Structure 1
Amino acid sequence: MIQAFGLTSNPRKELPPAVHDVSFEAGAGLVTALLGTPGAGKTTALRLMLELQPGRGVTHFRGRPLHRIAHPSREVGVLLGDVPGHPARTVRGHLRMLCAAAGVPARRADEVLEAVDLVSLRHERLGALSRGMDRRLGLACALLADPHTLVLDDPADGLSAREARWLHGVLRAHAAQGGTVLFTTADTKEAARNADRVVTLEKGRLVADQEADDFARNRLRPRVAVRSPHAARLAAVLSRESRAAQRSVEIVREGGNLLAVYGSSCADIGETAFRHGILVHRLADEVGDMGPGAGTTPLKVPAPGGESGAGEPREAGPSSGTGESQTPGSPHMTGAVPRPDAAAGHPAPARTPEEPQEPQGPQGPGEPEDPREADASQEAQEAQGAQGAQGAQEAQELEASGELDVPQETGESEAVRPLCPDPAAPWPDLAAALAPASGPRAPEGPGSGVLSPLPPPISVRSARSPLRPLRYEIRRATGIGTGLLTGAAVLLGSVLVAVLLARAGHTSQPRLLAAWPEELPLPPAALGAGLLGALSFGDEFRHPALAADRGTVPRRLGLLTAKLLVAAATALTLALLTAGCDTAALYLLYGREVAQVPADGLSPVASWAGLVVGCAWAGVLGAGVFRSTAAGLAAVVAVPVVVVPLVQRAFQGPAVRTAAGFPARVREVFLSQWPFGGERYLEAAARVIAQPVGGALTLSLTALLCAYLLTTLRGRAR
């Protein structure tokens, strides 16, 4: 189960916090709806619960806060917004990558695809999915690690009625197996139909926490929607007849010519309108949401018999105009349908006020009109005009006597409850409903000086490393075609540069084979390796694939090691292919002499491999430190442009001592003979580092690694 205590977001400058002192529970085996209008604080509350946003409060998932859970994705499945992923990645590839991150077998991806009915779209790209398929994929990501708890932010947003029914059926099945389900919604009808418990937020505060049946009974009532050009006159007639018959009828004007009548029926209202000659454009049974913010114009109708007490008219303050409900018992006239097992029975879906009522009659659209019917219709219109004038005079008399109060039409709307349909039912206390259910309380008075203790702060913590980091990184790198496209562009550019350098001449053989002219800071292969290294972190920051559990990119040494290994392997492969393509092109065009490898090839090969691997690592570390792909690529280019001149300037001047005889001294120190001529490789590595570019690259990698470790340790300390 979920237990949230005192969730409070940080204040936003002059504005109050988006969520203030929200406490509620979502039980195991139940579906809980977090209801509120847009801007009520539903998403902020979820982010505070998941420790994605700093604030105050405590949230326990089966008795433990999220940062105390070893594997959060196995305990809580989350869907916030759209599915986070690269648009070029396939549906199955995205799920398999997340399987490696969550530490579950790869076959689990196919199982959840079958569960959400996406098997036929497993090879579809994420960017090509429709809204409904994206919601299904998001649910599959949440269910991937078989979590006990599901936390979903407006999962049915933008879905059709059929897709929404399917989604809520999946959530109901998960709860039936003992899981906990919490979803947010702004639709009262959706909350009443699909939840077992409804928690209502208004302006960041908890105003109601009810069972779904109580919510439907208190918030949803049958009504009759009436649209007439003479709405004020019809309201006056209905109120007069209800007083005469000693019936409790509530009439709410919803702006324009639309009335909502509670406590009556379509037959009674139709007969009344016919007797008084009032034209009616629409007459339909509906189910209304009795919450604030209905956007209505008030009509003050006196109680039957003029008695005071429970039958007195009640007026509500100005509505919020948001079209959603927060407090039980206040009028809110949006179409809504209660749960099928509610006390109201099994009503059919109500017709919305915007739907026109089709005319009913035996006459077809193309049939001629009977002259006798036309004469009768003309007589009825004349009688209706006479009765309309009489009704208008009656409405003026009622208004003059104070029995009817019809305000002028304005741009602002208000809600009112003129009569309570059940006089014996207690009227809800709005001030008590707006008070927080639990958590810190405000001081008793300005001078009381009583301050309640605040709940503990919520600090944003980064997610844990993928449980299988190397497998995750391989699937992340191979799941999209960016690497192949970058490699093809690098090979083509390198061949062109090498051919042009050979044609111009005056270029050393190592630079010719590496396609590295003096005018460029780095060869194409090194730039391509640096770009792929920068994408290894930058791609995740743009599309946070690991947001399935916590929403932040992990900064752990296990994942960093995996990224460095994959980046090094990719860079060496690219360097080998580039050198081979350059040599083959030079041999075909200019012969063996131009494409000849130098006699002492160990040192150039070591320099070439060290350069491309160092650039790839600089891209990885730069993107990880600065959280940007562009920053990672800038760190690669900064090595020859900025760091190399600094290193050269530091070593300018006559050398008093040199490193001559380095291999002989190494053999003397280690005393034993190195197998397979290992001292030659060590000497080659030393020569690479001694070069200006090698020394600058080593210095840059050391600085970036230290910065990465510093930020990682600082994040853990918080």
Structure 2
Amino acid sequence: MLQAIGLTSAPRRGREPAVRDLTFEALPGAVTALLGAPGSGKTTTLRLMLELEPGRGITYFRGRPLHRIAHPAREVGVLLADVPGHPARTVRGQLRMLCAAAGVPVTRADEVLDAVGLAELHDQRLGTLSTGMERRLGLAAALLGDPHALLLDRPATGLSPREAAWLYALLRAHADHGGTVLYTTDDSKEAARVADHVVAIDEGRLVADQDAAAFARTRLRPRVAVRTPHAARLAAVVSREARATRRSVEVVTENGNRLSVYGSSCAEIGETAFRHGVLLHQLADETGDSNPCPSPCPCPGPESGLDPAAEPPADADGSAAEAPAPVPPPLPPAPEPTVEEDPRRSADLPPPLRPKPVRTPLHPLRYELRRLLGVPATPLIAAAVLVASAALAVLLARTGRTPLPAVIAAWPGLLPLPPAALGAGLLGALSFGDEFRYPVLSSGRGPVPRRLGLLAAKMAVTAAGALLLALLVAVVDLEALRLVYGGHLIPVPENWPSLCASWAGLAVGCAWAGLLGAGVFRATGAGVAAVLAVPVLMVPLVRKALVGPSVRSIAGLPGRLRELSWTHWPYEADRWVMGVVHVVAQPVGAALVLSLTALICAYLLTGLRRRARW
């Protein structure tokens, strides 16, 4: 069971709250429609239920609020807006990535694809999907965790009648298996036809809370739809017989040959047409006005200001005049809270509702691997880096004046960084930049999570990718040099371990700088700028600080560290410790360390600030 109690949105400055003290239930085994005109607060209601909007109230999903559920994806499936995701990612890749985020087996992706009819389109790119296919993919993502409840915001918008019928059949099947379905709509006829229960709201207030049959009987106008080439003649005959028998019958002429008859039945209209020899093309019972009513429409009665016993006015030829559809009575204005009713002082008000942060993926490392490898940008960047590095290495070795380490790294003096470091920084920037540009973890549920688990997974994956890219560049450059100039011209330097460490540190440092820069400033371009800022801004400053006579030396540092440590490492490790120290002491290494330290502090501070705001 889904219970929403006292949902009240926080009003914006100078505006009334979009939702006011809304309480309703959605029962298991039933489809519940949240009905209201555009701007009536339907989407805000769903966001309050999912703890994405500030306000008051609480929503129980089978007796527990959402923030107390260990695995939310297994309790509630959500479709609030268009399906997010990188347009170059495949349908199956998108769902497999979401499987890692939801903590469900990867085989679940193929199961839901088959359930929504997308099994044959598993290799289709997201950017090429139609509206109907996107909505099917959104339902598949909502069903990944096999949730008990489904919350959908206008799921049939933009769909054809056939696709909408399929969607409602899927929702009905979920409810028949004991699940709870709550969806929003602004079509009263659709709600009466599809849902088992209708919750109607207007300006954020509850208007109706009843089963679909009672809603159709009390809130909609049943009528007889007639199509005939003699519409004016039939309208006059029906009105004349209704006045003769003193019955309240209203005839509305629509679009020339179509009539809508209120207060009668198909049998009565058919008999009247037969007696007067009127040809009929259509005769059917319908519920609701001829045009979709955006808000609940009351039936004629004292509360609507219409007298059911009154006869419709007639024209000069005796035909019934067109009667306007009844308008719902205006709601009384909300009473201003007095001192005793002040929401801040009343003890009966629901608890305050604050937006909760989006949880980190349950399998962050698996999620990040699938995110990185699921788009063609990753292999394209790697291929471009390898080609550029090989070409630069061959050109640099041609003159013989460039040092061998710079030739193998393909790092000419004109470039601030070698292609491998730039490629690693770009991959790191895309790691967080794509999360903000094509949000998948948030999907309408707030900002991208700033949890340490997700950050650690991204740093581990980007570091591994940077090391692999640096290794491939070195191997490809050496092979290109051997192919062009021969192997006898490439001697192995004696300090190759420290050179390898410096090369790996440069690649990983640039990858992390791009990752953290994009995470702090929420843009891929900011991550790339953070990478370029290291050689352009930080290295000259560090070089100025390090240039000059030094009266002290760090010789003997490994021995002093051994004295301070609890364990004793072997003496062979002293050489590696000094190698790391020398790498960090270089201007580029020191600049990277300072930049990464500042970016990590900025990332943590922005995360703490966001939590304090929540």
Q: Shared fold (TM-score greater than 0.5)?
A: yes
Whole-angstrom CA distance in 1 between matches of 2:228 and 2:38: 28
Measured against aligned partners, the alpha-carbon deviations of 1:474-526 in whole angstroms (never above 9, x if no partner) come to 22222222211110011111112222222345322222211112221111100
Whole-angstrom CA distance in 2 between matches of 1:586 and 1:564: 33
Please give the secondary structure, in 1, of the residue aligned with 2:63.
coil
Correspondence for 1:508:
403
Q: 2:493 aligns with which of 583, 586, 598?
A: 598
Whole-angstrom CA distance in 2 between matches of 1:13 and 1:551: 21
Query: Which deviates further from its counterpart, 532-541 or 454-463?
Result: 454-463
Q: Kindly state the Cα deviation for residue 693 of structure 1 after the two structures are TM-superposed.
A: 1.0
Query: Which deviates further from its counterpart, 157-166 or 489-498?
Result: 157-166
Q: Which runs of 5+ in 1 are unaligned?
A: 296-321, 332-393, 408-413, 418-428
Whole-angstrom CA distance in 2 between matches of 1:661 and 1:38: 74
Q: Which amino acid aligns with 1:285?
A: A
Correspondence for 2:66:
66
Please give the secondary structure, in 1, of the residue aligned with 2:25.
strand
1:38-187 mapped onto 2 (5 Å cutoff) = 38-187=38-187
Correspondence for 2:298:
328
Correspondence 1:528 to 2:423:
yes
Q: Over aligned residue pairs, what C-alpha RMSD do you find? A: 3.5
Q: Which runs of 5+ in 2 are unaligned?
A: 302-313
Correspondence for 2:528:
633
Correspondence 1:415 to 2:325:
yes
Correspondence for 1:443:
336
Correspondence 1:654 to 2:545:
no
Whole-angstrom CA distance in 1 between matches of 2:299 and 2:177: 34
Correspondence 1:705 to 2:596:
no
Whole-angstrom CA distance in 2 between matches of 1:529 and 1:482: 12
Whole-angstrom CA distance in 2 between matches of 1:131 and 1:86: 16
Contact 1:544 1:551 (8 Å CA) reproduced = no
Correspondence for 2:306:
none
1:387-466 mapped onto 2 (5 Å cutoff) = 395-396=315-316, 415-416=325-326, 430=329, 434=331, 442-443=335-336, 450-452=341-343, 453=346, 455-466=350-361
Correspondence for 2:585:
690
Whole-angstrom CA distance in 2 between matches of 1:281 and 1:175: 40
Distance 1:567 1:601, change over 3 A: same
Correspondence for 1:289:
288
Measured against aligned partners, the alpha-carbon deviations of 1:626-684 in whole angstroms (never above 9, x if no partner) come to 22222222211111112222222333443332334545655676799744821111111
Distance 1:229 1:450, change over 3 A: farther
Whole-angstrom CA distance in 1 between matches of 2:140 and 2:566: 61
Q: Which amino acid aligns with 1:206?
A: L
Contact 1:644 1:692 (8 Å CA) reproduced = yes
Whole-angstrom CA distance in 2 between matches of 1:6 and 1:235: 49
Distance 1:513 1:398, change over 3 A: same
Please give the secondary structure, in 2, of the residue aligned with 1:656.
coil
Whole-angstrom CA distance in 1 between matches of 2:300 and 2:503: 76
Correspondence for 1:382:
none
Whole-angstrom CA distance in 2 between matches of 1:461 and 1:671: 42
Measured against aligned partners, the alpha-carbon deviations of 1:552-593 in whole angstroms (never above 9, x if no partner) come to 422211121111111111100000111111122222223346
Whole-angstrom CA distance in 2 between matches of 1:669 and 1:207: 73
Please give the secondary structure, in 1, of the residue aligned with 2:572.
helix
Contact 1:461 1:715 (8 Å CA) reproduced = no
Correspondence 1:570 to 2:465:
yes
Whole-angstrom CA distance in 2 between matches of 1:34 and 1:700: 51
Whole-angstrom CA distance in 2 between matches of 1:58 and 1:97: 31
Measured against aligned partners, the alpha-carbon deviations of 1:203-224 in whole angstroms (never above 9, x if no partner) come to 3332111101101222141223
Measured against aligned partners, the alpha-carbon deviations of 1:102-137 in whole angstroms (never above 9, x if no partner) come to 222222223323333333233333333333332222
Whole-angstrom CA distance in 2 between matches of 1:448 and 1:526: 64
Measured against aligned partners, the alpha-carbon deviations of 1:588-629 in whole angstroms (never above 9, x if no partner) come to 223346533322112211111100001111122122222222
Contact 1:226 1:283 (8 Å CA) reproduced = yes
Q: Kindly state the Cα deviation for residue 549 of structure 1 after the two structures are TM-superposed.
A: 9.1
Contact 1:9 1:44 (8 Å CA) reproduced = yes
Whole-angstrom CA distance in 2 between matches of 1:669 and 1:230: 101
Contact 1:289 1:325 (8 Å CA) reproduced = no
Whole-angstrom CA distance in 1 between matches of 2:566 and 2:202: 79
Correspondence for 2:364:
469
Whole-angstrom CA distance in 1 between matches of 2:366 and 2:481: 38
Correspondence for 1:373:
none
Please give the secondary structure, in 2, of the residue aligned with 1:20.
coil
Whole-angstrom CA distance in 2 between matches of 1:574 and 1:104: 31
Contact 1:540 1:553 (8 Å CA) reproduced = yes
Correspondence 1:617 to 2:528:
no
Whole-angstrom CA distance in 2 between matches of 1:113 and 1:230: 50
Larger Rg: 1
Contact 1:88 1:125 (8 Å CA) reproduced = yes
Contact 1:226 1:280 (8 Å CA) reproduced = no
Correspondence for 2:477:
582
Correspondence for 1:244:
244
Whole-angstrom CA distance in 1 between matches of 2:504 and 2:491: 19
Whole-angstrom CA distance in 2 between matches of 1:146 and 1:242: 56
Correspondence for 1:368:
none
Whole-angstrom CA distance in 1 between matches of 2:33 and 2:417: 57
TM-score by length of 2: 0.86
Whole-angstrom CA distance in 1 between matches of 2:567 and 2:221: 89
Query: Which deviates further from its counterpart, 9-18 or 680-689?
Result: 9-18
Whole-angstrom CA distance in 1 between matches of 2:265 and 2:193: 24
Whole-angstrom CA distance in 2 between matches of 1:182 and 1:623: 37
Whole-angstrom CA distance in 2 between matches of 1:714 and 1:570: 31
Measured against aligned partners, the alpha-carbon deviations of 1:384-413 in whole angstroms (never above 9, x if no partner) come to xxxxxxxxxx945989xxxx9879xxxxxx
Correspondence for 1:224:
225
1:259-298 mapped onto 2 (5 Å cutoff) = 259-264=259-264, 284-289=283-288
Q: Kindly state the Cα deviation for residue 694 of structure 1 after the two structures are TM-superposed.
A: 0.6
* Residue-pair matches, total: 596
Please give the secondary structure, in 2, of the residue aligned with 1:545.
coil
Query: Which deviates further from its counterpart, 516-525 or 55-64?
Result: 55-64
Query: Which deviates further from its counterpart, 155-164 or 573-582?
Result: 155-164
Contact 2:223 2:264 (8 Å CA) reproduced = no
Distance 1:77 1:268, change over 3 A: closer
Q: Which amino acid aligns with 2:222?
A: R
Contact 2:315 2:321 (8 Å CA) reproduced = no
Whole-angstrom CA distance in 2 between matches of 1:78 and 1:609: 43
Correspondence for 1:194:
194
